[in-house]
């Protein structure tokens, strides 16, 4: 499957890591992806050469440098450009080469996330706050907006995925329980934790907070998913309100 997907139109490469993808073993390709330096500060030449071969890699980097000679592209920047406007690279890369780069970086990112999440459990309100604040720094920095996040958990409270559900004005964000139910079902979550902020710094739940929480709890109950907690964060990690501690979920 991977051999077919990542077949390349380039000529055969003598090193094993640069052979045509139709001739590469799937395990070898995955091993290559494991070693990709995919962070924002990585220089992309070695990783690209491993994915599409040195000639195609050189063509791509030369083209990108011509477009922006003052700034050497990172893997993240190349990924975004290829994802958003692949037609710009029609004369530089084949469709298979573009697909190979996007698929390899998607796979590398997924594997990195899987390595980060398994040991991480959510069991307390503090766990919710620390996880969300570490990943979504706007929660405490942008005091003019209200953000609402959901953390999807498995039966052992291990994180499956987290995402921003909505963001709104200083007074409120709009949350549709159906969006949370859909995400939880797609990812086979057993439990969820909810986190949102009050830009005013006042952590006591409003009537809208209580109503929204109740709607989410009831909607998830129909599909057998439990709301572990809903945490309202003020202007610091130490300033919060836990629905679970208050006995409201």
b/e per residue 140-161 (b: at least 16 CB within 10 A): beeeeebbbbbbbbeeebbbbe
Q: Tell me: pLDDT of 230 over 80.
A: yes
3-state class (DSSP) for residue 82? helix
- Total residue length of the chain: 249
pTM for this prediction = 0.54
How many whole angstroms separate alpha carbon 186 and alpha carbon 90? 35
d(CA 132, CA 163) in angstroms, rounded, equals 9
pLDDT at 220 (0 to 100): 96
pLDDT digits (tens, 9 = 90+) for 47-99: 788 788 888 888 888 888 888 777 776 777 788 788 888 888 888 888 888 88
Per-residue confidence at 27, pLDDT binned at 50, 70, 90?
low
Domain definitions of the chain by residue range: 2-116, 125-242
Contacts of residue 214, defined as CB under 8 A and 6 or more positions apart, other chains included, come to: none
Please say if the pLDDT value at position 36 is more than 90.
no
- Which residue, among 191, 240, 195, has the nearest Cα to 213 in the 3D structure? 195
Rounded-to-integer distance, Cα 148 and Cα 168, Å: 9
Per-residue pLDDT at 22:
40
In angstroms, the Cα distances linking 75 to 38, 39, 41, 123 are 6, 7, 8, 36
What CATH class is the domain 125-242?
Answer: alpha beta
Rounded CA gap, 2 and 47, in Å? 18
């Amino acid at each position: 499957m991977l051999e077919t997907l990542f077949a390349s139109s380039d000529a055969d490469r003598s090193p094993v890591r640069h052979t045509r993808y139709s001739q590469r073993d799937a395990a070898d390709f995955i091993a290559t992806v494991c070693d990709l330096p995919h962070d924002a500060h990585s220089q992309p030449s070695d990783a690209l050469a491993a994915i599409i071969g040195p000639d195609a890699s050189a063509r791509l980097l030369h083209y990108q440098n011509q477009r922006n000679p003052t700034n050497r592209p990172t893997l993240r920047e190349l990924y975004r450009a290829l994802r958003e406007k692949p037609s710009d690279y029609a004369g530089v890369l084949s469709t298979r080469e573009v697909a190979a780069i996007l698929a390899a970086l998607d796979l590398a990112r997924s594997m990195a996330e899987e390595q980060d999440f398994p040991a991480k459990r959510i069991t307390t309100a503090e766990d919710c706050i620390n996880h969300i604040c570490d990943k979504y720094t706007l929660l405490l920095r942008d005091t003019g907006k209200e953000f609402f996040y959901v953390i999807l958990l498995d039966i052992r409270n291990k994180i499956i995925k987290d995402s921003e559900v909505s963001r709104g004005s200083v007074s409120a964000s709009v949350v549709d329980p159906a969006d949370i139910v859909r995400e939880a079902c797609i990812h086979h979550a057993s439990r969820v934790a909810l986190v949102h902020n009050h830009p005013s710094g006042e952590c006591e739940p409003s009537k809208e907070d209580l109503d929204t929480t109740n709607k989410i709890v009831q909607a998830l109950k129909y599909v057998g998913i439990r709301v572990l907690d809903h945490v309202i964060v003020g202007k610091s990690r130490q300033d919060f309100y836990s629905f679970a501690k208050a006995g409201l979920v």
